[in-house]
């Protein structure tokens, strides 16, 4: 297996895992919670969902997939509602699926080529790495906010918990 194959597969797997976790989070929250901010300088989960979609479109769909870029980055953060959790996650899911299809098919030439994205000069590897890292950071914020708003353990790491032994060993 080549390094680029391993890189592409892991990027796709990680984006898919994080998207599934975001879908779980959004499914646990009310519309008010999706748009909740304690302070004006904070982002609601709804803003982060809009922002992740915009970022994927700008960093993957446009440069690698040839999709037109019509992003309103400021609008992603300025929104105070207007979309339901289902609409937000549905649109993000479509974008993640499209991005993953593109990333899975990237060639070594595309991964090593130079791109200009959002005024940054990056290789294809750097663009994909940026997207996965950026998606992960905001997914972590969404997970944390969901835990705070719902009071629930989301169970994403249950598989790491040792079984509790209840029997007494003399």
DSSP 61: I
Q: Taking a C-beta distance cutoff of 8 angstroms, is the pair 77, 52 a contact?
A: no
Q: How confident is the model at residue 169 (pLDDT cuts 50, 70, 90)?
A: low
**Spatial CA neighbour of 26 closest among 48, 11, 42, 41:** 48
Query: Is 164 a residue whose pLDDT tops 90?
Result: no
Q: Which structural domains are found in the chain, ordered by start?
A: 3-160 (1.20.120.450)
pTM of the model: 0.92
Q: For residues 12 and 80, give the distance between their C-alpha atoms in angstroms, rounded to a whole number.
A: 31
Q: For residues 139 and 162, give the distance between their C-alpha atoms in angstroms, rounded to a whole number.
A: 26
Query: Is 56 a residue whose pLDDT tops 70?
Result: yes
What is the residue whose two structure tokens read 């899911």?
93
Query: Is 145 a residue whose pLDDT tops 90?
Result: yes
Q: Taking a C-beta distance cutoff of 8 angstroms, is the pair 96, 15 a contact?
A: yes
pLDDT, averaged across the chain: 95
Q: Taking a C-beta distance cutoff of 8 angstroms, is the pair 64, 106 a contact?
A: yes
12-19 contacts, C-beta under 8 A, 24 or more apart: 12/100, 12/103, 12/104, 14/132, 14/135, 14/136, 15/96, 15/99, 15/100, 15/103, 15/131, 15/132, 15/135, 16/96, 16/100, 18/135, 18/136, 18/139, 19/92, 19/93, 19/96
pLDDT tens per residue across span 22-36: 999 999 999 999 999
pLDDT tens per residue across span 65-108: 999 999 999 999 999 999 999 999 999 999 999 999 999 999 99
């Amino acid at each position: 297996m080549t390094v680029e194959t391993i890189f592409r597969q892991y990027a796709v797997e990680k984006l898919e895992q994080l998207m599934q976790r975001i879908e779980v989070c959004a499914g646990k929250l009310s519309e008010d919670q999706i748009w909740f901010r304690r302070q004006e300088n904070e982002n609601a989960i709804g803003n982060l969902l809009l922002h992740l979609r915009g970022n994927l479109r700008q960093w993957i769909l446009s440069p690698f997939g040839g999709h037109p870029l019509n992003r309103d980055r400021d609008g992603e953060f300025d929104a105070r509602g207007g979309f339901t959790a289902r609409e937000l996650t549905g649109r993000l899911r479509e974008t993640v699926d499209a991005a993953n299809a593109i990333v899975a098919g990237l060639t070594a030439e595309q991964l090593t080529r130079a791109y200009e994205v959002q005024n940054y000069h990056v290789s294809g590897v750097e663009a994909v790495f940026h997207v996965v890292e950026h998606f992960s950071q905001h997914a972590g914020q969404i997970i944390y906010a969901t835990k705070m708003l719902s009071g629930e353990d989301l169970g994403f790491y249950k598989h790491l918990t040792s079984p509790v032994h209840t029997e007494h060993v003399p």
